[in-house]
Amino acid sequence: MASLSPPFKRVALILAAGYGKRVVSAERSPPKQYKEIAGLPLLCFPLRSFLFHKEIHRVRVIIRPQDQFLYQNAIDKARNVWTNFKWQKYLMDPVIGGERRQDSVRAGLESLLSSPPDQVLIHDGVRPIITHEEINACIEALSDSPAVIPVLPLTDALKQYDDSGRLHHSPRESYRLALTPQGFDFTAILRAHRTFTRENFPDDATLAERAGLQVKAISGKPSNFKVTYAEDLLRAQSILAPHSSPGTSGMRIGWGYDVHPFIAGKNVRLCGVDIPHGKRLTGISDADVGLHALTDAILGAIAAGDIGEHFPPTDPRWYEADSSVFLTHAAELARHAGFCVHHVDVTLICESPKIAPHRLAMRQCVAHILALEIDNVSIKSTTTEGLGFLGREEGIAAHAIASLSPCDMR
Ligand code: MG
C-alpha cells in the first residue's frame, strides 16, 4: 500500500472508546478520558503530546458514539488553552470505535485507508503523560522494525495464585509491563487486525505477534501510567497541574533599549502607529524605536544577539523597512527556539508627542504582530522632566521587556 503524501507519513490513533468502570462511579458520569484534570479533560493531555510533535503528521481520536458531545467539548476547551492554533490542522475528525479495544483500533485503521500512512502509533487515551522523548523512541525503533512496544520492568515483587488459591512468589525478572504508544507499519497492522477479528487481544502488539510480526521492545517510562483507579486521576492531576498554564517554569525574560534622533518631518512612527508631529525619527528602517526595543527584548530572551546582527544597517534591504518585519522575525526565531512570547511591556520616553491618545492603537498593533491578546501588551510613556537629550526633544528612547514561555515546536 503506497502512502499518499509526505504529510500523512505517520498518524497517531488515540483510543478513547472505552468506559472505565473503576474510575467512574455511575453509568451516567463521563468516562475517565473526559474527567477534568488540571483544567482540561484527561484526553487532552495525550492528544496534545501527539498534536504538537513534529514527526506526527495527523492525529485521530477513536471515541464512543454517545461521547461525541464530550469529545467536542474537550476540543473546545483545548482551543481556549492552546492558543497556537496550528495544532488544529493536524487533528482529524474523530471516528467511532467498536465494542472491544481491538474493534476500536480496527475502526481507526480502516478510517485511514483513504490516505494510508506508512506508520501508525496507537496510544491509550487514558495515559496522559506521554513525552516527546517517548514518541521519538517509538518512531526511531519503527525505522527497522514493523512493530514496536514500550515496556517497563516490574519493580514490586510478583506473586501468583496456584490452583488451590494460594499465593506463591514468582520471579519478576522475565516479566514486563506493556505500555503505549505502540508503533506499527500501517499495512502490516491493518492486515493483522483484519485477519484476527475473532480472538481477543489485550493490545496491538499481542495481535501483531499473533500475525507473525517481529515486535521490538523499547524502554518505556514509569510516568506513562494508565489512569485506571480514582487515585490515578489525583496522581495525574498533581503532575500535570503545574504545567497546564504558562506558570514560571522555564520562562525567559528579555530586555531591550533603543534611541533614535529626530529630524524634520511630518510623522513619528511609534509601536507601528504614525503620529502626526513636526518631526520624524531617523535611522535605517522606519526608526520605530518602540518596536526596535521590543525586538531586542525578544532576541534577548532567547539569547539570539541583537537587532543589528539580524538586520545589519549596511544592508540596503532594511532602508525604510517597516519595523514590524524585525519584530515578526524575532518572534519567529523564539518559536523555533521553543518559546512563545507571553507578555510585553514597552516604555517610551519623550516630551512629545503625547503617547496616551495613541496607546490603544499601539497596543492593538503590537498585539496583532505578535498574535497576543491585547491584555498581554503594555505600552507606557514617561518623560525625563526636561533633562538631557530626551528633555531637549532631540529624540525618543524606548525600553521593552518581553516574557516568553516554553511552547511547542510545530
Ligand atoms: Mg533602532
Asked if 296 contacts 399 with a C-beta cutoff of 8 angstroms, the reply is no
pLDDT given at position 246: 47
pLDDT given at position 39: 81
CA of 294 to the centre of ligand 1 (A): 10
CA of 293 to the centre of ligand 1 (A): 7
pLDDT given at position 23: 60
pLDDT given at position 1: 39
CA of 261 to the centre of ligand 1 (A): 10
DSSP helix/strand/coil, 219? strand
Distance from chain centroid for Cα 35: 21
Q: Which positions ≥6 away from 269 have C-beta within 8 Å?
A: 275, 280, 281, 286, 287, 288, 323
CA of 401 to the centre of ligand 1 (A): 15
CA of 336 to the centre of ligand 1 (A): 24
Block mean pLDDT (10 aa), the chain, length 410: 57 90 62 88 94 93 96 92 81 96 97 95 96 94 97 94 93 94 98 95 96 97 92 85 55 96 95 95 94 97 92 88 94 86 96 95 95 93 96 96 79
CA of 84 to the centre of ligand 1 (A): 29
pLDDT given at position 21: 63
CA of 326 to the centre of ligand 1 (A): 10
Q: How far apart are CA 18 and CA 36, in angstroms?
A: 16
Q: What are the pLDDT digits (tens) for 347-387? A: 999 999 999 999 999 999 999 999 888 999 999 999 999 99
Q: Which residues surround ligand 1, an ion (CB under 5 A)?
A: 258, 292
pLDDT given at position 123: 98
Cell of 47: 492528544
CA of 272 to the centre of ligand 1 (A): 13
Cell of 59: 492525529
| Residue 55, φ and ψ in degrees, nearest 5 | -90, 0
pLDDT given at position 19: 75
CA of 330 to the centre of ligand 1 (A): 14
CA of 382 to the centre of ligand 1 (A): 19
DSSP helix/strand/coil, 163? coil
CA of 405 to the centre of ligand 1 (A): 25
pLDDT given at position 319: 87
CA of 375 to the centre of ligand 1 (A): 25
| Pairing of the two strands 40-41 and 377-382 | unpaired
CA-nearest of 207, 53, 43, 16 to 137 is 53
Q: How far apart are CA 59 and CA 384, in angstroms?
A: 56
| Pairing of the two strands 119-124 and 10-16 | parallel
pLDDT given at position 91: 96
CA of 397 to the centre of ligand 1 (A): 9
CA of 335 to the centre of ligand 1 (A): 23
CA of 308 to the centre of ligand 1 (A): 8
pLDDT given at position 317: 87
CA of 322 to the centre of ligand 1 (A): 12
pLDDT given at position 118: 96
CA of 267 to the centre of ligand 1 (A): 17
Q: Can you spell out the DSSP letters for 310-377?
A: HS-TT-GGGTT--THHHHHHHHHHHHHTTEEEEEEEEEEE-SSS--GGGHHHHHHHHHHHHT--GGGE
CA of 327 to the centre of ligand 1 (A): 12
pLDDT given at position 378: 97
pLDDT given at position 4: 42
Q: What are the pLDDT digits (tens) for 380-409? A: 999 999 999 999 999 999 999 999 988 755
CA-nearest of 217, 44, 47, 42 to 123 is 47
Q: Can you spell out the DSSP letters for 8-34?
A: GSEEEEEEE----TTT-SSTTSPPGGG
CA of 137 to the centre of ligand 1 (A): 45
